[in-house]
Amino acid sequence: MTVDALALRIHQASHLTGQFVLRSGRTATEYFDKYRFESDPVLLDAVAERLAALVPPGTDVLAGLEMGGIPVVTALARHTGLPCAFVRKQAKAYGTGRLAEGAEISGQRVLVVEDVVTSGGQIMLSTAELRALGADVDTALCVIDRGQGGAEALAEEGIALRSLLTADDLRAAAGQ
């Protein structure tokens, strides 16, 4: 599937209009419901196939952020063969009590994987916690960059953002 065809499929599956409050606290009149493309196994696999080319050389572990980054990172691992860590918003208070479950991250070059980026806030928070646990994190990967300052905010924290698509790409694919 071409990138343009993929953008159109994602737009058709996930684009909503209305009034939406984003994780960043911002209000938007359009929303990309990531769960609509993440819950479609054929579409998610096509996304992961394209994302695989954006994984930096030397990456040891893919770290998916709770909750939307988890299906993306799992599908991406199938295409890269790299192990995954599943990163919680906060360490659980029971069981292992870990922030990152799955692959070991300490001493590893870790790529943070997210679905949609607006402000980059969750990536910044999670990256700080992963770094405190000994992970080497300098890049994040997302499916959709809304183009609302997330890449710039992440760059200020020493995190390069690589995105498969932007909100503008999705709009253009849909002829908007």
- Of 166, 162, 164, the closest CA to residue 59 belongs to 162
State the pLDDT at residue 28.
87
Q: What is the pLDDT at residue 96? A: 80
pTM of the model: 0.94
Task: Indicate the pairing of strand 109-117 with strand 136-145.
Answer: parallel
* Eight-class DSSP state of 89: S
pLDDT in tens, 59-99: 999 999 999 999 999 999 999 999 999 999 988 788 787 89
- 21-54, pLDDT tens digit by residue? 977 788 989 888 999 999 999 999 999 999 999 9
Q: What is the spatial distance between Cα 71 and Cα 102, in angstroms, rounded to a whole number? A: 14
Q: Scanning the structure block, which residue is given the tokens 């969750």? A: 122
Q: What's the confidence (pLDDT) of residue 95?
A: 79
Q: How far is CA 151 from CA 7, 92, 108, 131, 140, in A?
A: 20, 29, 23, 19, 9
How far is residue 65's CA from residue 61's CA, in Å, rounded to a whole number? 13
Q: Span 47-166: which CATH code?
A: 3.40.50.2020
pLDDT at res. 54? 98
pLDDT in tens, 132-165: 999 999 999 999 999 999 999 999 999 999 999 9
107 band by pLDDT with thresholds 50, 70 and 90? very high
Specify the amino acid at residue 52. A
19 phi and psi angles, rounded to 5 deg: -115, 120
Distance CA 48, CA 143 (A): 9
Give the separation between CA 134 and CA 18, rounded to whole angstroms: 42
